Chain A
Amino acid sequence: MSDTPLNGATPRSSGLLSGWTATTWATAICLVLLAVVPPVSFYAGQPFHVDLATRLVCLSIAAVSLNLILGYGGMVSFGHAAFIGIGAYSVGIPAYHATYGEFDLIASYNGWFHIALALVVSAIFAAITGAISLRTRGVYFIMITMAFGQMVFFLFVSMETYGGDDGLTIDVRSELPLIDLDKPLQLYFLCYGSLLGALFIVHRMVNSRFGMAIQGAKGNELRMQSIGYNTYVYRLVAYIISGAMCGYAGFLLGNFTTFISPEMMDWTRSGELMFMVILGGAATLVGPILGAVAFILLEEILSGFTIYWHLPFGVLLILCVLFARGGLMGFVSQWGRRNG
C-alpha cells in the first residue's frame, strides 16, 4: 500500500477538458452518475434505487474520511465504524429523549444540534483514542484502533435505555431548514451534497501544507522528524478530522435508516470500510467512492445467489489485493496512461 503513487509529480488539470487525465474523467463521470441516476430511477418508479444510492453515498463519505488517514496518512484504522455509530446515536439519543422525555439538556429534533453533537463527540473520541493509538505503529495500531471501536460497540450494547443489543428506532428524523429528510430525494441530495463537500475538503487538504506533512509522514516518518516535523501532532489532527467527518456520515446514515443499533459499529463494519478504500484505490480522491459502489453492487448481486455471499466476496477481495495494487483507480490511471 505504501508504494502506491502519491500523485506527487502529476500536475492537476487546469480545468480545460484537453488537460483531463483518466483519473479526472473517472471522478467526473462518477459524480455525474450519482447526481443523475437516483432522481431518474425515482421518477421511473424505482424508489428502491434511491435507497440503495443513499446508503452508497453515506458509506462513501465514511470511506472518504477513512481514506484521509489510511490512504494519505498511512494510518490503518480498524475502528472507523465507531464514528458512524457515534454519529447515528447523535441523532437517535436526542430524538429519543425529545419523544419520551428525560435528559432535557440534549432532548431535541434540531438537525443542527444533531450535526454539532456528532462532530464534537466524534472529534473528542478521536482525540482521546488517537492520542493513545498513534503512539504505536503497524499491526499494533490496527489492533488498538479495533479495540477502541469494540469498546464503543459494547458500551452501546450495554445501554438498555437505548435498546441495547436490539437497537433504537428513530421516530422523528432531524429537522433542518428548507429540506424535509422524510422525502427520499431530498435526503439523497443532502447526502450527495455532503459527499461533494467532503471530497472538496479532502482535495484541498491533501494538497495543502498540512496534507503534504501527513503524506510525508506516511512515506518516511524518520525523515520528516529530522527535517523538523512533529509528526505525531500532525497525524493526530488528521485522525481527529477524519473521525469527525465519519461521525457526520453516521448522522446521515442514522437519518436514512431510522433504525440504529450497535451492529453498525461492529469491527466487521470497520473492515468493510477498509475494503472500500483499498478496493477503490487508497490515496486517490474518488477511489473510496468506486470502492463503495463496487461493495454495494457486489453485496446486492452476490446475496441474490447465496446467503453466504461473503465467501465469493472474500475471494474477489483477495484477487484484488494480489493483482490490482492501487485498486480500481489503479486500473483507471493505467488505462489512461496506455491510451493517453
Chain B
Amino acid sequence: MAETILEVRDLSKSFGGVHATANVTLDVLHGETHAVIGPNGAGKTTLISQLSGDLKPDGGSISFKGRDITSLPAYQRSLTGMARSFQITSLLMGMSVLDNVSLAVQAHDGHSFRFWTPARKDRKLRDKAMQSLQVVGLQDRAGELAGALSHGERRQLEIAVALATEPQFMLLDEPMAGMGAEESARMVEMLSGLKGEKSILLVEHDMDAVFALADRISVLVYGQVIATGLPEEIRTNEKVRDAYLGEGDE
C-alpha cells in the first residue's frame, strides 16, 4: 500500500448556519487520483479552497507529506509542492499565455527580488514555461494574450500554470467545466498522462471523466463524505445512488 500524501481529519467550515464542510476525513495516496463527486452545493469548492489555503477552516486538520499545514498560507502550500486549478478560470488576462506560465515557474525559482534583469528574456523561465505549455498543447498560442483564448484553451492554461509549479499534488476544481465533448476527451487524455506521476484530488461533474480517471472516489453530500471507495463500489453503493447518482443522473 502506498503512503498517504494528504491527510484530512475532521475538517469543518460553516457559513452562518450552513455546514459547508462537516467533519470531512479524507486521504490521498501517493500517485493516486482521488475524485470527489457530489451534487451542486455539496461543498466541493469550499473543501478545495481549504486544502489550498485560500479559506481558513473552523476546525480539523490538514497534513501534507506528514506535516501539519492547517494554518499555512496559500503561497507557502504552493512552495511545498501543492498546486490548485480554479473552477472559474482565474488567469492574468492582460498578460500573454507564456507570461502566465512563466510567472508560475518564477515563483518556484527562488525569491523575486530581482529588479534589473528582464524576466521575459530569461531563458530558464521561458523554456520551462514552454514545456508546461507543450504538455497541455498550447505551445502555438504562447504569444497570445490569455484574455484572447477560447474557454477550453483557458482551462488548459489553468492546468499548464499548475503544472509549471512542479507540484507533487494537484487540486483540480472541475477542469472540464463548460467544455465540449471533444475538448473534454482531450483533457481526460492529458490528465491520464499525469496519472501515477502526480497525486491528484479531482472535483468533477462529468461522470465519464471521473470513472475514467479516478483510482478512488469520495462522495460529498451536504458537506459530509457519505462514501469512499473504488469506482465500482461507488457505482453500486445504495447510499450514493439514493443521494446522488440515482436522481436524474447528470
Chain A residues with a Cβ under 8 A of chain B: 3-6, 8-9, 204-205, 207-213, 215-216, 219-220, 222-231, 234, 237
Contact = CB atoms under 8 A, between A and B. Distances in A.
B107 A222 contact: no
B116 A216 contact: no
B99 interface: yes
B184 interface: no
A6 B93 CA distance: 10
Contacts of B102: 212
Contacts of B70: none
A205 B116 CA distance: 6
A204 B114 CA distance: 10
A226 B115 contact: no
24 contacts: A8-B92, A204-B116, A204-B118, A207-B119, A209-B112, A209-B117, A209-B122, A210-B115, A212-B106, A213-B107, A219-B92, A219-B93, A224-B107, A225-B53, A225-B78, A226-B54, A226-B74, A226-B84, A227-B104, A227-B107, A227-B161, A228-B79, A230-B75, A231-B75
A209 B145 CA distance: 19
Contacts of A210: 112-115
A8 B165 contact: no
Contacts of B217: none
Given A210-B115, A226-B54, 8 more contacts: A205-B116, A210-B114, A212-B99, A216-B103, A220-B92, A225-B74, A227-B104, A230-B73
B94 A209 contact: no
A205 B115 contact: yes
Given A209-B112, A225-B73, A228-B75, A3 B94 contact: yes
A228 B118 contact: no
A213 B106 contact: yes
A223 B158 CA distance: 10
Contacts, number: 117
Contact of B96 (A3, A9, A227): A9
Contacts of A204: 115-116, 118
A217 to B, nearest CB: 10
Contact of B108 (A212, A226, A228, A230): A228
B151 interface: no
Contact of A211 (B78, B79, B119, B162): B119
Contact of A220 (B90, B99, B115, B116): B90
B52 interface: yes
Nearest to A241: B115
Contacts of B93: 219
Contact of B94 (A211, A219, A222, A227): A219
B94 A208 contact: no
B83 interface: yes
Contacts of A6: 94-95
A224 B86 CA distance: 12
Contacts of B104: 227-228
Given A8-B96, A207-B120, A220-B92, A225 B75 contact: yes
A222 B54 contact: yes
Given A222-B54, A227-B161, A228-B79, A208 B116 contact: yes
B35 to A, nearest CB: 21
Nearest to B104: A227
- Most chain-B Cβ atoms within 10 A of its Cβ — which of A9, A211, A224, A227? A227
A223 B165 CA distance: 12
Contact of A5 (B73, B94, B119): B94
Please report whether the interface of chain A is mostly helix, strand, loop or mixed according to DSSP: helix
B144 interface: yes
A3 B147 CA distance: 11
Nearest to A205: B115
A219 B122 CA distance: 21
Contacts of B83: 226-227
B143 interface: yes
Contacts of B115: 204-205, 208, 210-211
Contacts of B188: none
Contacts of A234: 112
Contact of A8 (B52, B107, B145): B145
Nearest to A212: B119
Contacts of A222: 54, 74, 90
Given A227-B103, A227-B161, A229-B107, A207 B118 contact: yes
Interface in B117-137: 117-120, 122
A8 to B, nearest CB: 4
Nearest to B117: A208
A234 B113 CA distance: 8
A229 B95 contact: no
Contacts of B190: none
Contacts of B52: 226
B91 interface: yes
Contacts of A230: 73, 75
B126 to A, nearest CB: 12
Nearest to A237: B113
Contacts of B165: 227-228
- Most chain-A Cβ atoms within 10 A of its Cβ — which of B91, B92, B143? B92
Interface in B59-82: 73-75, 78-79
Contact of B118 (A5, A208, A215, A237): A208
Contacts of B92: 8, 215-216, 219-220, 223
